[in-house]
């Protein structure tokens, strides 16, 4: 589980998934901060603002996390009649200053700090400015009216992807490429395994890891997918961000060499990366638009961050991308499964750790 080429100064390990001890420590710190004054004197406290801003650790060229965050913020700002400002590719080295400066811009009423690793810096920025901040992943970091949290039922999308993969596979072998120690990668992978087994209980799923924090390791991503394809896996589910470029390159090369392989992406749209669009079966999309819109409405109404903002199948925050490569049978099967998940008749395993995912694979 490693690549040394993937760790530029941005410390991507904190992009979304914070190690358990760090998350606990941070939760305690934020809880201690929650006792500060419950009201602010900023315009945003009265719902009187004209601008929302988003701060991202990388750029939308990752075809995943940053791509969809920025896309969602643009759509939400437009729908809300607000101006959007963007601070992109900021990394993690000076986030408190960056987030504070973003909140201090004229007219800003909400800062979208698009990484759970921004949590501590977001809290300090809120203390300094009074402007609400929206981060991701860990509900205990929420502070009513101040720090909002987005959570993800990523396993639900993974389940649908697993159904499509199993129905597409000719070899009866599927591959999963994971770029980092990330709670959402584990939950999506577990959902994928369960969905595939719902179609074919004897299907084999191989999982390959690049590294502990190799989100953008394209070379490492290409290598692990080549290994999965060499072992006979003919549908690859890749969890990247920037590593996605390497995943897709490996799939492209395999198909050009005569080995038929399909690719399933995560979070974003990768159609512009592939040489043949038929190679992409689908993507588990994370759609932030409506969640950001709701957060904006809540800030205006004075009800921000009362509960976590969750992306799931039912509210459209998680969905399977509709592609021409999905057959009518696949679309019907995934639609039926989505209804079952939404009404509770299908329970998707929530494998939040590598150990839980490994246990599921071994069942």
Check whether residue 124 and residue 218 sit in a common domain.
no
Assign residue 326 the CATH number of its domain: 3.40.50.2300
pLDDT at 7 over 80: no
Check whether residue 276 and residue 258 sit in a common domain.
yes
Check whether residue 115 and residue 189 sit in a common domain.
no
Contacts of 183 by beta carbon, 8 Å cutoff, 6+ apart: 16, 17, 137, 352, 353
**Distance between CA 115 and CA 119 in Å, rounded?**
8
Check whether residue 158 and residue 128 sit in a common domain.
no
Check whether residue 81 and residue 19 sit in a common domain.
yes
Q: Give per-residue pLDDT as tens, 328-360.
A: 999 999 999 999 999 999 999 999 999 999 999
Count of the separate structural domains present in the chain: 2
pTM for the structure as a whole: 0.87
Kindly report the average pLDDT of the chain as a whole number: 88
User: What DSSP character marks residue 213?
Assistant: B
**Distance between CA 242 and CA 233 in Å, rounded?**
22
* Helices 95-104 and 119-129: angle between axes, nearest 10 degrees: 40
Lowest pLDDT segment from 181-185, 204-208, 230-234, 282-286:
181-185
pLDDT at 362 over 70: yes
Check whether residue 97 and residue 123 sit in a common domain.
yes
Check whether residue 148 and residue 176 sit in a common domain.
no
Name the band, by pLDDT with cuts 50, 70 and 90, for residue 274. Answer: confident
Containing structural domain, residue 328: 154-285+318-361
């Amino acid at each position: 589980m490693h690549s040394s080429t993937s760790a530029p100064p941005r410390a991507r390990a904190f992009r979304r998934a914070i190690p358990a001890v760090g998350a606990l420590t941070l939760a305690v710190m934020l809880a201690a901060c929650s006792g500060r004054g419950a009201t602010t004197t900023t315009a945003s406290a009265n719902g009187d603002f004209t601008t929302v801003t988003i701060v991202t650790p990388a750029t939308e060229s990752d075809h995943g996390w940053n791509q969809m965050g920025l896309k969602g913020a643009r759509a939400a700002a437009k729908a809300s009649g607000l101006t959007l400002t963007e601070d992109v590719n900021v990394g993690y080295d000076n986030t408190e200053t960056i987030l504070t400066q973003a909140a201090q811009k004229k007219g800003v009423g909400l800062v979208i700090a698009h990484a759970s690793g921004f949590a501590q810096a977001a809290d300090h920025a809120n203390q300094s400015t009074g402007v609400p901040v929206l981060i991701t992943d860990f509900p205990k970091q929420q502070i009513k009216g101040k720090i909002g949290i987005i959570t993800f039922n990523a396993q639900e999308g993974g389940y649908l992807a697993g159904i499509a993969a199993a129905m597409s596979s000719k070899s009866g072998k599927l591959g999963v490429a994971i770029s980092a120690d990330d709670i959402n990668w584990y939950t999506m992978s577990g959902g994928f395994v369960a969905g595939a087994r719902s179609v074919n209980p004897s299907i084999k799923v191989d999982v390959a890891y690049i590294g502990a924090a190799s989100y953008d390791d394209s070379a490492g991503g290409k290598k692990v997918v080549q290994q999965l394809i060499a072992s006979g896996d003919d549908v690859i589910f890749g969890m990247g961000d920037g590593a996605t470029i390497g995943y897709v390159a490996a799939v492209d090369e395999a198909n050009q060499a005569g080995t038929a392989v399909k690719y399933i992406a995560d979070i974003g749209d990768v159609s512009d990366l592939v040489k043949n669009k038929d190679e992409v079966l689908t993507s588990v999309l994370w759609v932030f638009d409506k969640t950001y819109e709701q957060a904006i409405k809540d800030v205006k109404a004075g009800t921000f961050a009362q509960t976590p903002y969750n992306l799931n199948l039912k509210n459209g925050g998680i969905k399977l991308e509709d592609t021409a490569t999905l057959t009518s049978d696949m679309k019907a099967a995934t639609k039926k499964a989505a209804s079952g998940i939404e009404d509770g008749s299908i329970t998707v395993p929530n494998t939040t750790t590598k150990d839980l995912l490994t246990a599921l694979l071994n069942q």
